[in-house]
């Protein structure tokens, strides 16, 4: 041995094989998930605060942005009461573009993404391989309730620059399903081709936005197919939220279960569905607050407010009290599935409200009022022009004059605003939506541009 020691060059231990590295991270992430699910509800907050304390220390030590942002605060701020920490905003992320928030050496980054930049200059997001695997196993656990070997699943959301589509890919592969990564809006696979492939390949599931699910249904019907007979069991909807009336239409048209998943570009998944179809918050990886968007005051469970999150175990890009700009409500009751994690409903974006003559209208309330009128079609568009709410609705089954009058009456009764309602034809809507990344945000200007 002594001779060997003297005659061989000291060597660094061989790095683990990619497979061993992945398996070790995956096993650890699954063990963390199980340990969290084993907590009682009352133990969740102390567990989260202990991790938040570590996360704040990590951010202050390693992220240039947070070193500056938290300068002057006592060293242990945040471990007892997260409200003592300052908010992090979308503008902070824009100013920190691309890597000011990074808390690891760039060489440790496994994936880098950016927001679409449709609402201003882009923001960046970065994760280590361990961050990535932690997210993957959460998604895998959720999708295992819906898909398994033998199932084919279309992933019809953007792959470019974001993590969500790839995360779903990994999870679907791991549960044994097969993936068709169509993406959306690409020159290679526009929505018409996705529809044709659904008719040919007959998938068990489709991952897409709710509005895209309507559009795909629409295109299949136009081509002479009965979408409800194609065998699609589950539509996993992401990327936009919608009203119960719209969800009911999609479920009826496809004869499929609708299952939500919610996340942001900066964080990837934040809520994933259980076997009951309710969206559980990723409280093992994030501490969530629901706050009044105007005052920042905490709201009681069940109330709708802005979702504010702090990462608890993020390595690459810790975020502390990040204002997502999303409106949510936390369900006050536990889910019958038995998970310790709270469930949440997504109500759209804080900035999505319509201002009509001094009144602020919730877009989902408006959608619910419009689409619950018998005889309205799949789509509608809303906008405010000259202080007046204007609506364009499809009226495929009943006389347009009658449907428009009923929509005006229902909106008036429910929201206290009298809109001007006119008919729109589906061909115009289709042309407008097929050019949109987020077709759920269809506006009057989009319709005018599509004429």
Q: How far is the CB of 353 from Zn ion (least distance, A)?
A: 29
**Angle, CA 66 vertex, CA 65 and CA 72 arms, to 5°:** 120
- Output 36 or 65, the one with its CB closest to Zn ion: 36
Q: How far is the CB of 115 from Zn ion (least distance, A)?
A: 29
Q: How far is the CB of 170 from Zn ion (least distance, A)?
A: 22
- Asked if 234 contacts 257 with a C-beta cutoff of 8 angstroms, the reply is yes
Taking CB under 5 A as the rule, does residue 145 contact Zn ion? Answer: no
- Asked if 309 contacts 319 with a C-beta cutoff of 8 angstroms, the reply is yes
Contacting range for Zn ion; rule: CB under 5 A; set: 234-242, 338-346, 381-389, 399-407: 338-346
Q: How far is the CB of 141 from Zn ion (least distance, A)?
A: 12
- Output 212 or 280, the one with its CB closest to Zn ion: 280
What are the residue ranges of helices labelled H in 153-243?
164-174, 191-201, 210-222
Contacting range for Zn ion; rule: CB under 5 A; set: 50-58, 186-194, 277-285, 347-355: 277-285
- Asked if 341 contacts 321 with a C-beta cutoff of 8 angstroms, the reply is no
Taking CB under 5 A as the rule, does residue 144 contact Zn ion? Answer: no
Q: How far is the CB of 280 from Zn ion (least distance, A)?
A: 6
**Window 216-275: residues binding Zn ion (CB under 5 A):** 274
- Output 195 or 274, the one with its CB closest to Zn ion: 274
CB atoms within 10 A of CB 450: 18
Q: How far is the CB of 40 from Zn ion (least distance, A)?
A: 16
Q: What is the largest CA-CA distance in the chain?
A: 97
CB atoms within 10 A of CB 111: 18
- Output 203 or 260, the one with its CB closest to Zn ion: 260
Taking CB under 5 A as the rule, does residue 335 contact Zn ion? Answer: yes
- Asked if 146 contacts 153 with a C-beta cutoff of 8 angstroms, the reply is no
Q: How far is the CB of 139 from Zn ion (least distance, A)?
A: 15
**Angle, CA 404 vertex, CA 402 and CA 410 arms, to 5°:** 100
Tell me whether residue 371 is exposed, middle or buried, using C-beta atoms within 10 angstroms of its C-beta: 0 to 12, 13 to 18, 19 or more: buried
Taking CB under 5 A as the rule, does residue 67 contact Zn ion? Answer: no
- Output 63 or 339, the one with its CB closest to Zn ion: 339
Among 51, 111, 212, 278, contact with Zn ion (rule: CB under 5 A): 278
**Enclosing H/E stretch for 397:** none
- Output 163 or 237, the one with its CB closest to Zn ion: 237
Among 245, 303, 337, 350, contact with Zn ion (rule: CB under 5 A): 337
- Asked if 392 contacts 424 with a C-beta cutoff of 8 angstroms, the reply is yes
What are the Cα distances from residue 448, in Å, to 342, 394, 443? 42, 15, 9
Of 244, 234, 236, 104, the closest CA to residue 164 belongs to: 236
CA distance 205 to 184: 16
- Output 182 or 339, the one with its CB closest to Zn ion: 339
Tell me whether residue 39 is exposed, middle or buried, using C-beta atoms within 10 angstroms of its C-beta: 0 to 12, 13 to 18, 19 or more: middle
Contacting range for Zn ion; rule: CB under 5 A; set: 29-37, 228-236, 339-347, 364-372: 339-347
Taking CB under 5 A as the rule, does residue 276 contact Zn ion? Answer: yes
- Output 261 or 369, the one with its CB closest to Zn ion: 261
Q: How far is the CB of 276 from Zn ion (least distance, A)?
A: 5
Q: How far is the CB of 338 from Zn ion (least distance, A)?
A: 7
**Enclosing H/E stretch for 365:** helix 363-371
Contacting range for Zn ion; rule: CB under 5 A; set: 75-83, 94-102, 319-327, 337-345: 337-345
CA distance 51 to 56: 9
Number of residues that bind Zn ion (CB under 5 A): 6
- Output 108 or 275, the one with its CB closest to Zn ion: 275
CA distance 202 to 230: 6
- Output 115 or 273, the one with its CB closest to Zn ion: 273
Q: How far is the CB of 157 from Zn ion (least distance, A)?
A: 23
Q: How far is the CB of 134 from Zn ion (least distance, A)?
A: 20
Which residues contact Zn ion (rule: CB under 5 A)? Answer: 274, 276, 278, 335, 337, 339
């Amino acid at each position: 041995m002594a001779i060997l020691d003297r005659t061989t060059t000291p060597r660094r231990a061989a790095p683990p094989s990619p497979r061993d590295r992945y398996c070790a991270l995956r096993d650890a992430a699954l063990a963390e998930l199980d340990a969290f699910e084993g907590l009682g509800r009352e133990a969740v907050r102390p567990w989260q605060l202990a991790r938040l304390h570590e996360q704040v220390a990590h951010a202050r030590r390693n992220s240039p942005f947070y070193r500056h942002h938290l300068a002057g605060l006592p060293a242990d701020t945040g471990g007892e009461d997260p409200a003592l920490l300052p908010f992090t905003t979308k503008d902070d992320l824009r100013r920190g573009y691309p890597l000011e928030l990074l808390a690891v050496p760039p060489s440790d980054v496994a994936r880098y993404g950016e927001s679409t930049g449709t609402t201003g200059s882009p923001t960046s997001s970065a994760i280590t391989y361990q961050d990535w695997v932690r997210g993957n196993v959460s998604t895998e656990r959720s999708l295992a309730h819906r898909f398994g070997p033998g199932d084919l699943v279309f992933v019809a959301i953007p792959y470019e620059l974001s993590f969500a589509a790839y995360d779903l890919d990994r999870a679907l592969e791991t549960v044994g399903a097969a993936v068709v990564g169509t993406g959306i809006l690409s020159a290679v696979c526009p929505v018409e081709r996705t529809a044709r492939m659904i008719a040919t390949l007959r998938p068990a599931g489709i991952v897409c936005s709710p509005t895209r699910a309507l559009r795909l249904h629409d295109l299949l019907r136009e081509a002479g197919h009965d979408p409800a007979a194609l065998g699609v069991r589950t539509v996993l909807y992401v990327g936009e939220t919608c009203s119960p009336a719209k969800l009911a239409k999609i479920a009826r048209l496809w004869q499929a279960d609708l299952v939500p998943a919610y996340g942001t570009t900066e964080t990837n998944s934040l809520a994933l569905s259980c076997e009951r179809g309710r969206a559980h918050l990723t409280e093992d990886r994030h501490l969530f607050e629901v706050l009044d968007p105007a005052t920042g005051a905490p709201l009681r469970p069940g109330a709708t407010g802005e979702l504010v999150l702090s990462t608890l175990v993020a390595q690459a890009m810790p975020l502390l009290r990040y204002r997502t700009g999303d409106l949510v409500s936390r369900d006050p009751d536990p889910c019958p599935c038995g998970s310790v994690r709270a469930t949440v409903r997504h109500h759209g974006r804080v900035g999505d409200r319509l201002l009509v003559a001094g009144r602020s209208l919730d877009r989902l309330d408006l959608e619910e009022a419009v689409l619950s009128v018998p005889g309205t079609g799949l789509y509608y568009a809303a906008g405010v022009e000259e202080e007046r709410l204007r609506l364009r609705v499809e009226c495929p089954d009943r006389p347009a004059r009658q449907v428009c009058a009923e929509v005006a009456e229902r909106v008036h009764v429910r929201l206290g605003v009298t809109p001007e309602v006119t008919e729109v034809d589906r061909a115009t809507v289709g042309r407008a939506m097929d050019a949109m990344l987020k077709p759920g945000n269809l506006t009057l200007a989009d319709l005018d541009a599509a004429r």
